Amino acid sequence: MKNKHLISACILGVLLCPDANLAQEPAAAEGERLFRSRCASCHSVNTGENRVGPHLSGLVGRTAGSIEGARYSKALSASGFVWDEERLQAYLNNPRQVVPGTTMIVSIRDAAQRSAIISYLRDISGETTR
């Protein structure tokens, strides 16, 4: 009888306290989906694979305009800032306001979508939330 109660308690625990990773999977999948639909035509997530824009592997914590062989606007190359979540939020919302003269024309006005993309980029780079 004790085993029945123990098994029931374990099942109930699993149902009431699902693994945190399972809750994060939809957000990660959404970030990847948004990246593919909004960003991947110009950017890769593979190190060294530059397209119209630079690859975004390891982006968080990297100095803007610092990937060798990537095509940057003079404005972005001269900005001197380091990409962090706050800077990425502002830049993705309105690139030309944050860096006048940038060649990036795509903006992502929805804050939830920006956050999902940034989380995806951070996750694929092995970064943790700051």
The structural domains of the chain, ordered by start, are 21-124 (1.10.760.10)
Which two tokens mark 104?
């990036």
The reported pTM is 0.76
Position of tokens 């809750």? 23
Which amino acid makes up residue 78? A
Q: How far apart are CA 111 and CA 89, in angstroms?
A: 8
How many CA within 13 A on the CB side of residue 17?
Answer: 5
Facing residues of 63 across strands? 82
Span 27-38, mean pLDDT?
A: 92
Q: What are 76-124's pLDDT values in tens digits?
A: 999 999 999 999 999 999 999 999 999 999 999 999 999 999 999 999 8
* Percent of the chain whose predicted confidence (pLDDT) is above 90: 72
